[in-house]
């Protein structure tokens, strides 16, 4: 993955069904890091993001579930200041490691 075209995306979900929620969580763990119970951060190329979204859509019940994608910007332009936590923080991995 070229750092020039890779983007950081925040993925948050609200899924009432335990089975679908677990399946989605397992898929997202392949792509990124869990920040909260229902929030992941993913560093990926545009093609990989499309593949991830396609896999996610296969799991969802579009009438009941919701997934939010928030583009945080190009990896090459990001700094440590993108995340702050109150309480217990999480480690976000990428080409560089940021611990908050």
Cα distance between residue 98 and residue 51, in whole Å: 26
Total tally of structural domains belonging to the chain: 1
Residue 79: its pLDDT value, please? 63
Q: Which residue has the higher pLDDT, 56 or 98?
A: 56
Question: What CATH number did the domain enclosing 32 receive?
Answer: 3.30.70.240
Binding residues: 14
* 13 in a structural domain: yes
Contact assessment for residue 56 and residue 9, using Cβ atoms and an 8 Å cutoff: no
Residue 75: its pLDDT value, please? 84
| 7-50 confidence digits (pLDDT tens) | 999 999 999 999 999 999 999 999 999 999 999 999 999 999 99
| 71-81 confidence digits (pLDDT tens) | 998 887 866 55
Q: Which domain holds residue 45?
A: 3-73
Residue 91: its pLDDT value, please? 65
Binding residues for Mg(2+): 14
Which distant-in-sequence residues (6+ apart) come within 8 Å of 7 by Cβ?
43, 44, 45, 46, 49, 71, 72, 73, 74, 75
């Amino acid at each position: 993955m070229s750092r020039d075209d890779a983007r950081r995306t925040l993925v948050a979900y609200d899924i009432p069904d335990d089975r679908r929620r677990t399946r989605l969580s397992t898929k997202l763990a392949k792509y990124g890091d869990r920040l909260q119970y229902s929030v992941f951060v993913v560093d990926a190329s545009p093609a990989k993001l499309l593949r991830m979204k396609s896999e996610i859509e296969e799991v969802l019940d579009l009438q009941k579930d919701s997934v939010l994608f928030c583009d945080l910007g190009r990896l090459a332009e990001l700094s440590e200041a993108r995340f702050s936590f109150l309480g217990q923080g999480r480690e976000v991995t990428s080409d560089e490691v940021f611990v908050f």
